[in-house]
Amino acid sequence: MPQITVDYSDRLADDFDRPGFATALHEAVVEIAAAKPPACKTRFRRTEDATVGPDTEGHAIVHVHIALLAGRTEETKARLTEAVLELLRQHVKPTAGLALHASAEVRDLDPSYRKYEE
């Protein structure tokens, strides 16, 4: 916990500072949602195909999904979501001719969530 997944268009591969984003995001999750730093885990999934409306060209997508153990208020989740969007503004370079569609979601992990570490 937290489990963070970032889906991003392959068109952003050279313009998205993923290590910098993950570091800053982990700091935000610790500050805003009271997570423990060693518990923050982020994985990036590069997607080859993205379609926005009727268009396949000229668009890039980044969606950040954060799953936390239950107990955070809706206000905390909203603050974290806004922080994620601001961090994306800082870590994704604008690309001429490419419209960026960025979004974020924070949800509670299912009560069945379990983990182990070795």
What strands lie across the sheet with 3-9, from one edge to the other?
41-47, 3-9, 59-68, 99-108
Judge: domain 3-108, CATH 3.90.1560.10. no
Can you give the residue ranges of every domain in the chain? 3-108
Q: pLDDT at position 95, please?
A: 84
CB 61 within 8 A of CB 104: no
pLDDT score of 32 more than 80: yes
Confidence of residue 97 (pLDDT cuts 50, 70, 90): confident
CB 15 within 8 A of CB 66: no
Residue 52 pLDDT level (bands cut at 50, 70, 90): confident
Nearest Cα neighbor of 64 from 90, 79, 51, 45 is 45
Positive or negative CA dihedral for 81, 83, 86, 91? negative
Distance in angstroms (rounded) separating the CA atoms of residues 2 and 65 = 10
For the stretch 59-96, pLDDT in tens is 999 999 999 999 999 999 999 999 999 999 999 998 88
Say what the pLDDT of residue 92 is: 97
